[in-house]
Amino acid sequence: MSIGQLDVETLCAWVDALARAETVYAPQARGDRFVYDRLRRAEDLRLDHDVTLLPPKKYFLPPRERLAQFDGTGAARSVLDETPFVLFGVHPYDVAAIAQADAYYLKENPDAHYAARRRGAVIVACDVQAASSSVFAACMGTAVAREGFDLLLTRVDGAYVADARTPAGEALLARAGRLSKADAVALGRREQVWQDALKFLRRHELKCRPADLPGLLTRSYEHAAWEKRSERCHSCASCVLVCPSCFCFDVQDDTGWDLCSGERCRRWDACLLRDFALVADTTSARTAWSAIVTASTARASTCTTASASWPASAADAASPPAPRALPIPSSSTTPCWRTDHAGLRLRRGEGPLPFAAGRPAAQDPCHRPRDAL
């Protein structure tokens, strides 16, 4: 697969062409924050975003999604959204989260609705240029993406190294036209970008290895910390809903006024909401269980069943995307980060980040988007 170099002019022309021809979702400013949204033109693209309000999971598992439609006769039809799209500018930790969602939704009992969206997605990752004030990616090993994307962009000396890792990424990059070869210097600088990311994208430290976390959590089930946390928890589930790696959902039906036609929808749900584990007799499985015994007298009735498979059965689902090869980056030279940091402090006296702490200025009319690239 090829590695090329794009100057900002070429990048903009390429993104503009993509935005015209394809459905492109990318980080953009909304008010004084960043969101992933439909990209219409290159000048709205903010590759210098720090963190977005919602992670890109919303394009694979939308906050609200129609799973099936019922017609007036009660017959059901699965709804699959197979519109292809380009997800542009994804940070490495979000790439890791998408890989986690893939493992969850595509491996055992693949989810047809997720798979349909995932199949049509081309992921253009982008190394972090502006650090979120609470970034902890490096301590979780997700500051640099090694796999899980089709194309990786890294800002190096005012230009971008574009690294295609899959045929889809290759095809996308080919549309950039005149692509100069990334020379050894640029690749060396990119390596330095990665080294810096590993070093600096850690505003929080983990006092153990990430792999130890599951075991620690299991053993800490009765830890006083949970009680303390729960005293201060609103059960508003905000933490779970914005989390890139939380994937629970609820399914509900609604009908038209004929009470026959209608739809089955799923919506993000969260284990921190009070009713999450509620069973039909309205006792939560997590609080005291009341007996499920209020037996009714058995009497016979006959029903026939449609051999229904909605939401779409596992059989409808496609196989997960193929694993990707992992070229190991080599050599290292001097850092090439933008240095217009906003004076954020690191713990342990490591000095300021070589990352811009980016936030869009609040509805700044003088915003010059080109500077963002």
Partner 1 sequence: MGKPRVAIFDFACCEGCQLQIVNLEEDILGLLGLVQPVEWREALSDRSDEYDIAIVEGSITRAEDEERLRGIRKRAKLLIALGACATIGGVNKLKNACDMEDVRRYVYGRAAAMPHLATEPTRALDEVVKVDYKIHGCPVSRRELGAVVRSLAMGVEPVIPNYPVCVECKLRETVCRYEYNEVCLGVVTRGGCNAPCPAGGGWCYGCRGLVDDPNVNAARDVMDKYGRTPADLQRRLALFNSPGAVSCPKS
Partner 2 sequence: MLFEVRPEVGRLDYMPGQFVEVSLPGVGEAPISICSAPGRGESFQMLVRKTGRLTAALHALPEGARLGVRGPYGTRFPVGDDMKGRDALFVAGGIGLAPLRSAILYVLERRADYGRVTILYGTKSPAERLFTRDLAAWAARNDVQFLETVDRAEPPWTGNVGVITTLIPRARVDPARVVVAACGPPIMYKFVLVSLHALGVAHTQIFVSLERRMKCGVGKCGHCQINGLYACLDGPVFRYDRIADMQEAI
Q: Which residues bind partner 2 (CB under 8 A)?
A: 70, 74, 76, 104-105, 108-109, 111, 214, 218, 221-222, 247-255, 259-260, 262, 264, 266, 269, 271, 276-282, 285-286, 289-310, 313-314
Is 54 among the residues that bind partner 1 (CB under 8 A)?
yes
Question: Is the CB of 311 or the CB of 358 nearer to partner 2?
Answer: 311
Which H or E run contains 193? Answer: helix 184-200
Taking the complex as a whole, how short is the minimal distance between the CB of residue 15 and partner 1, in angstroms?
Answer: 22
The whole-angstrom separation of Cα 193 and Cα 113 is: 37
Query: Could you tell which of partner 2, partner 1, none binds residue 231, using a CB distance below 5 to 8 A set by kind?
Result: partner 1
Query: Could you tell which of partner 2, partner 1, none binds residue 371, using a CB distance below 5 to 8 A set by kind?
Result: none
The whole-angstrom separation of Cα 156 and Cα 3 is: 13
The whole-angstrom separation of Cα 264 and Cα 310 is: 9
The pattern of x and - marking residues 233 through 272 that bind partner 1 according to CB under 8 A reads xxxxxx--xx---------x-xxxxxx-------xx-x--
Angle at 129 between CA 4 and CA 202, to 5 degrees: 125
- Asked whether the beta carbons of 47 and 252 are under 8 A apart, the reply is no
Which distant-in-sequence residues (6+ apart) come within 8 Å of 64 by Cβ?
Answer: 265, 266, 267, 268
Taking the complex as a whole, how short is the minimal distance between the CB of residue 313 and partner 1, in angstroms?
Answer: 25
Question: Is the CB of 218 or the CB of 334 nearer to partner 2?
Answer: 218
Is 53 among the residues that bind partner 1 (CB under 8 A)?
yes
Q: Which stretch binds partner 1 (CB under 8 A): 30-38, 174-182, 299-307, 350-358?
A: 30-38
Which distant-in-sequence residues (6+ apart) come within 8 Å of 177 by Cβ?
Answer: 10, 13, 14
- Asked whether the beta carbons of 82 and 119 are under 8 A apart, the reply is yes
Angle at 225 between CA 219 and CA 227, to 5 degrees: 105
Taking the complex as a whole, how short is the minimal distance between the CB of residue 326 and partner 1, in angstroms?
Answer: 33
Question: Is the CB of 255 or the CB of 331 nearer to partner 2?
Answer: 255
- Asked whether the beta carbons of 248 and 271 are under 8 A apart, the reply is yes
The whole-angstrom separation of Cα 335 and Cα 127 is: 13
Is 99 among the residues that bind partner 1 (CB under 8 A)?
no
The whole-angstrom separation of Cα 170 and Cα 179 is: 12
Taking the complex as a whole, how short is the minimal distance between the CB of residue 80 and partner 2, in angstroms?
Answer: 16
Question: Is the CB of 234 or the CB of 368 nearer to partner 1?
Answer: 234
Which H or E run contains 323? Answer: none
Angle at 171 between CA 112 and CA 19, to 5 degrees: 80
Could you tell me how many residues of this chain bind partner 1 (CB under 8 A)?
32
Taking the complex as a whole, how short is the minimal distance between the CB of residue 65 and partner 2, in angstroms?
Answer: 12
Residues 272-291 that bind partner 1 (CB under 8 A): 273-275
Q: Which residues bind to partner 1, rule: CB under 8 A? A: 30-33, 35, 53-54, 63-64, 231-238, 241-242, 252, 254-259, 267-268, 270, 273-275
